[in-house]
Amino acid sequence: MNSRTSRTQMLYTLGFICFLISAFAAFFTGVKVGADKTEAKYAHLKQEGAAQEFSGSYQQQDLVTFYHNVFLPYREFKRNWNSELDNLSRSTGARENAAILKNLSILADKQYDKVTQDSIFTNSPLLHEAQLNILKSLTLFSQASSKVSAGASGAETAKVLEKDNFTGNAVKFGLLAQKNFYDSMLKWGAKANNKIPSEAGELKTLSFIQWKKMPLLLKNASIAGMMLNRSIYAGYDPQDITAKIDDMIYSGTASSLKLKDVQSSVTLLISTGAVQEQDFIKWREQYYGKETMPQLPFFYE
């Protein structure tokens, strides 16, 4: 009797264990199937989210809009500022000096109005920052031109204007905006080509060996950083310096001058006035035919 009862209890126990195993197996199978169905159901939303993330920041259209509505008005001002400052340095009449200063202030205000006509670039933070920096720059240029007194000596007046704190900060904000713009192009390039980094990184001394391996957009962003650090406020653009350096390297000029790095080349080029507007266009086909770059006019015209 006891033997039969023990055998019956053992069978019940084994049956109960088998039931539990089957139940757990069914439960976890159901969980996995449910998870797979849920993932499949919302997979299209993930894809749409990824597409939105790609297109939501630093689109080419953002770069083009910024170029035409922010960069070009400021670029025009920068050319006129440098030109008028040169005229001022050669002027010999107090009345003419006063007229030049007044024109510079009016021009800064006029270009400010042009830049603020369009919306801030909220989807591209660097472009947003660049626009704000340009507005700060134009405001300070206007204030500097208004506060400096016109003396009889144009050269002395120009010197006072250049050394004014408002002017110094105006230049700084303008060059910072330029760097923001070129860093934005780098972020666009990283999405278009996985061989292009999204950031320029810390600015270090660049050997020619390192420089030759860098994509164009990274070279330009690095030069924009150097221009900011050195307060190079000129009519030409970073890609013009890039092209001049590349031509020096590939033509053998850098070697004959015993130059070994990019920074020393920039120093030489700037000190001798060797860089000109449109230098990039001059060598674009020769050196940059296969480079990834956005469809911005100053890369193609």
- What percent of the chain has pLDDT above 70? 81
Residue 172 pLDDT grade (very low, low, confident, very high; cuts 50, 70, 90): very high
Reference 76, options 28, 115, 120; nearest CA is 115
What pLDDT, in 10s, does the model give residues 198-230? 999 887 899 999 999 999 999 999 999 999 999
Mean pLDDT across 186-205: 92
User: HEC states along 232-283?
Assistant: CCCCCCHHHHHHHHHHHHHHCHHHHCCCCEHHHHHHHHHHCCCCCCCHHHHH
DSSP-assigned states of every residue in 67-95: IIIIIHHHHHHHHHHHHHHHHHHH---HH
Sequence-ordered list of residues with C-beta below 8 angstroms from that of 78, at least 6 positions apart, any chain: 174, 233, 235
What pLDDT, in 10s, does the model give residues 232-273? 999 999 999 999 999 999 999 999 999 999 999 999 999 999
Phi, psi of 207 (to 5 degrees): -75, 160
Mean pLDDT across 81-93: 92
What pLDDT, in 10s, does the model give residues 17-72? 555 555 445 444 443 433 343 334 333 333 333 333 334 479 999 999 999 999 99
Phi, psi of 148 (to 5 degrees): -75, 130
CA-CA distance, 68 to 79, in Å (whole number)?
16
Is this structure's pTM higher than 0.85? no
Query: Do residues 144 and 107 lie in contact, with contact meaning Cβ atoms separated by under 8 Å?
Result: no
Query: Do residues 135 and 112 lie in contact, with contact meaning Cβ atoms separated by under 8 Å?
Result: yes
Sequence-ordered list of residues with C-beta below 8 angstroms from that of 278, at least 6 positions apart, any chain: 240
pLDDT at 121: 82
CB-count burial class (<10 Å; 0-12, 13-18, 19+) for 29: exposed
Region class of 273: left (phi > 0), else alpha (psi between -120 and 50), else beta: left
Helix residue ranges per DSSP H, the chain: 2-56, 60-66, 72-90, 94-115, 125-147, 154-163, 165-192, 208-213, 216-230, 238-251, 253-256, 262-271, 279-287
Residue 87 tokens read as: 């005229």
Residue 233 tokens read as: 């406020």
What pLDDT, in 10s, does the model give residues 102-124? 999 999 999 999 997 766 787 89
pLDDT at 13: 56
Residue 79 tokens read as: 């050319």
Tokens 């507005």 correspond to: 135
Q: Which of 61-65, 182-186, 202-206, 278-282 has the lowest mean pLDDT?
A: 202-206
pLDDT at 18: 53
Read off the amino acid at residue 141.
F
pLDDT at 10: 57
